[in-house]
Amino acid sequence: MDPGINNHGLKAVVIGLIWIRALALYFFLILASGENLIKSSSMEKPDNLIIVIFGATGDLTSRKLVPALNSLRTQNMMPEKCTLIGVGRSDKNVEEFRKNMEDAVKAFSEDKEVGLSKVSDFAGCIEYQRMDFQSQEDYGKLRQFIEKISIERGIGGNIIFYMATPPDLYETISTNLSKAGLGNQSDGFKRFIIEKPFGYDLESSQRLNRVLHELIREDQIFRIDHYLGKETVQNLLVTRFANGIFEPLWNRNYVHRIEITSAESIGVEDRGGYYDKSGALRDMVQNHLLQMVGLTAMEPPSSLDADAIRNEVLKVFQSLQPIREEDVEKQVIRGQYTPSKIRGECVTGYRYEKGVDVHSRTETYVAMRFYINNWRWGGVPFYVRTGKRLPTRVTEVVIHFKQTPHHLFQRVIGKLAGNQLIIRIQPDEGMLLKFDMKEPGTGFVVKNVNMDFHYKDLADVRVPSAYERLLYDVMLGDSTLFSRDDEVETAWKFIEPIQRSWKNNPSIKVYGYAAGTWGPEPSNSLMESEGEGLSWRYPCKNMADEELYCEL
């Protein structure tokens, strides 16, 4: 054997191996950096900041905000340095407040096992400041406190102010913060989160916008509607615009009607004082339900930019056919729950709830029919309803498609149902398509069957809470999922004639409905004008006085 040739071969093998290892290392590095890219783009860490929550001893803070912040922290999505300052009217020391927040996280966290062990670390980043929201002097003290914390902890000047107070304080707090120089962005961003309801009517919402615009810029204002933070509400956009099969059918040529329901089984609980001044129209319809209408009915946006999406939602609101004051009685049904028995347990009526006037005419249920005057939806009725103390908690959007033009087949019983696409927002988040199939056997007997998808089947995917998503977005300055000034005002403009008509015509009935039922009977009459036998989709039966469980 020629040793020269042998040596040569060995060298080639060694060089080959070195190349293979180098290539492997190269690809590994590319993959690793790719993975990092993916991770960092989906879990960007916000800049250091201080979060100030006004109304820190209230329900919203303990049930939603603090558990959401804790959850973000356990997922490493909070800034490197962040302090939460709770501001309230109660006299509390910081230890007491931290303990309350720790208990709140334990009680209300959605993912119990994730991060509860870290709750006490989180409590260490929480401070408390008592103040009188009307006193300018107290805002000066708040500013000094913020500056002290910021210097001691090296946080810098970024601040988020969250108004989790009764709505009549939004103006006062924003004005006083501004007067104390706390809206000034020279040393870092200052963002104001305003909870819903944003105003009580068109005029007050316009006024609040005007006042805020005199103090700060529109891009500093985040009007929160927590429905927009729900994963399944955002999925409306993906369902419509990522799938080629739905969009061609999504219009008046194929859609017969659209139904949106947001039902709650709970009553007003301990929020009677607030609710009695608000009612279901202001509390749910003007914001959550109309936003769902907006996303269901909008045109495809040109991009996913905040303004591109909000412009399209605004156009839907601008196209809502105003309900004339004289038509309100026919198109809008209001109700109030009365005492009843649910699964054998007595349930109190609305008028006997804490904080509610015994003669109250505030509606705990609203059902309405309206139209959107544009090329896509002209003539298609939209039915929306919401209520407290209904048989179950369910929020869904139902697209009812038109029937075939000629009925070749007959069902065993009754008429063909028509196809329905049910987008379940909560609970048991998912989608269901109802369509007709031939029942095996002789002849052509047609049966309505389901094709469904449930989020819970994606076993390893965690659905983040709405407040987690929204708080994170504010930290990053992304306002896509927040309502703009013109959107809010246009939504109020649509609601205004209903408010006016109810105010001017006390003879318009507030129907009673037994707690645990699907609301007042006349709400069915809303659909009668569209065709015989039409009714709302009932995901489960009434539970009042029955031992029936509600199955979704």
Cis peptide leading into residue 339 (ω within 30°): no
CB closer to ligand BG6, 127 vs 396: 396
Between residues 66 and 527, which has the closer beta carbon with respect to ligand BG6? 66
CB of 155 to ligand BG6, least distance (A): 31
CB of 213 to ligand BG6, least distance (A): 24
- Contacts of residue 171, Cβ cutoff 8 Å, sequence gap at least 6: 207, 208, 211
In whole angstroms, give the CA distance from residue 126 to residue 50. 10
Q: Which is nearer to ligand BG6, 86 or 279 (CB)?
A: 279
Minimum distance from residue 205 beta carbon to ligand BG6 (Å): 16
Q: Which residue's CB comes closest to ligand BG6?
A: 283
Minimum distance, C-beta of residue 315 to ligand BG6, in the bound complex (Å): 25
Q: Give me the least distance between CB of 460 and ligand BG6, in Å please.
A: 24
**Of 19-78, which residues contact ligand BG6 (CB under 6 A)?**
none
Q: Which of 288, 406, 407, 454 is catalytic?
A: 288
> Given the complex with ligand BG6, which of 98 and 282 has the nearer CB atom?
282
Q: What gap in Å lies between CA 466 and CA 231, rounded to an integer?
A: 7
Of 2, 23, 20, 22, whose CA–CA distance to 12 is shortest?
20
Sign of CA dihedral 6, 7, 12, 15: positive
Token reading at 29: 């590095």
- In angstroms and rounded to an integer, the radius of gyration of the C-alpha atoms of the chain is 28
Q: Please state, in angstroms and rounded to a whole number, the distance separating the CA atoms of residues 469 and 279.
A: 27
Site for ligand BG6 in 179-218 (CB under 6 A): 196
Which is nearest to 190 in space by CA: 477, 498, 408?
A: 477
- Residue with smaller CB distance to ligand BG6, 261 or 395: 395
**Which residue, 164 or 313, is less far from ligand BG6 as judged by CB?**
164
Residues 6+ apart with CB under 8 A from 368: 285, 323, 331, 332, 333, 383, 384, 385, 498, 526
**Cβ distance 368 to 332 under 8 Å?**
yes
Given 283, 396, 473, 489, the residue binding ligand BG6 (CB under 6 A)? 283
> Closest approach of Cβ 386 to ligand BG6, in Å?
9
| Tokens read off for 307 | 């303004």
Tell me which of 171, 264, 396, 487 binds ligand BG6, using CB under 6 A: 264
- Distance between CA atoms of residues 297 and 258, nearest Å: 10
Instruction: Give me the least distance between CB of 529 and ligand BG6, in Å please.
Output: 29
Shortest Å distance, C-beta 395 to ligand BG6? 6
Question: Would you call 400 a catalytic residue per the annotation?
Answer: no
Q: Which residues pair with 449 in a beta bridge?
A: 435
Does 102 interact with ligand BG6 (rule: CB under 6 A)? no
Site map (CB under 6 A) of ligand BG6, residues 144-183, x = contact: ----------------------------------------
Nearest to 220, CA basis, from 465, 43, 482: 482
> Kind and range of the H or E element at 472?
helix 466-476
In terms of Cα–Cα distance, which of 440, 419, 415 is closest to 531?
A: 415
Q: At what angle do helices 202-215 and 485-504 cross, to 10 degrees?
A: 150
Q: Between residues 60 and 534, which has the closer beta carbon with respect to ligand BG6?
A: 60
Choice between 264 and 485, CB closer to ligand BG6: 264
Residues contacting 407, CB < 8 A, separation 6+:
415, 416
Both structure tokens of 482: 């927040």
Minimum CB separation of residue 444 from ligand BG6 in Å reads 42
104 vs 131, beta carbon nearer ligand BG6: 104
Distances (CA, A) of 163 to 6, 174, 208, 424: 80, 9, 13, 30
Q: Which amino acid is at 465?
A: S
Query: How many of the chain's residues bind ligand BG6 (CB under 6 A)?
Result: 4
CA distance 145 to 139: 10
β-pairing verdict for 410-411 and 445-454: parallel
Residues that bind ligand BG6 (CB under 6 A): 196, 264, 283, 395
* Catalytically active residues, by annotation: 288
